[in-house]
């Protein structure tokens, strides 16, 4: 039987795997598949073409990586459990940023979020 202490980490790990799988599907099945170029050139636009176009704009303007970096910085300085939750959400935002062509800011967001997740909460900024 699972201990309640590990249940939060288990939910987080499953969430990371789901976001990773969804991001990889978006990249390789929707963004890089050549069939969508021909389909999206047709006059009638499907929802997949709209999703592809909006995702391309998000990638171009760096929306995912900027959101992940901003939330990681906020989480890094926010004390307590709320900061840890924000860092977890920031890490979940950074995964698609890394996979979907926004790796420069996504790496920084990932490092900040993971540093916040492993930081000791008892004395966050105490001198050694």
- Is pLDDT at 125 greater than 60 in this prediction? no
Contact 109, 99 (CB under 8 A): no
Ordered by start, the domain boundaries in the chain are 8-118
Give the pair of three-digit tokens for residue 3.
Answer: 């201990």
Give the pair of three-digit tokens for residue 95.
Answer: 């995964």
Render pLDDT for 83-101 as a digit per residue (tens, 0 to 9): 999 999 999 999 999 998 8
Render pLDDT for 32-62 as a digit per residue (tens, 0 to 9): 888 887 888 877 778 888 888 888 898 889 8
């Amino acid at each position: 039987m699972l201990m309640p202490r590990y249940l939060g980490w288990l939910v987080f790990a499953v969430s990371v795997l789901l976001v990773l799988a969804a991001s990889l599907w978006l990249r390789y099945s929707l963004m890089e598949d050549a069939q969508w170029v021909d389909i999206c050139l047709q006059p009638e636009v499907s929802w997949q073409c709209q999703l592809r176009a909006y995702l391309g704009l998000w990638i171009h303007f760096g929306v995912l990586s900027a959101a992940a970096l901003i939330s990681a910085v906020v989480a890094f300085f926010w004390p307590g459990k709320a900061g840890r939750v924000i860092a977890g959400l920031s890490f979940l935002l950074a995964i698609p940023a890394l996979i979907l062509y926004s790796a420069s800011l996504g790496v920084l967001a990932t490092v900040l979020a993971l540093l916040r997740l492993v930081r000791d909460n008892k004395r966050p900024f105490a001198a050694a």
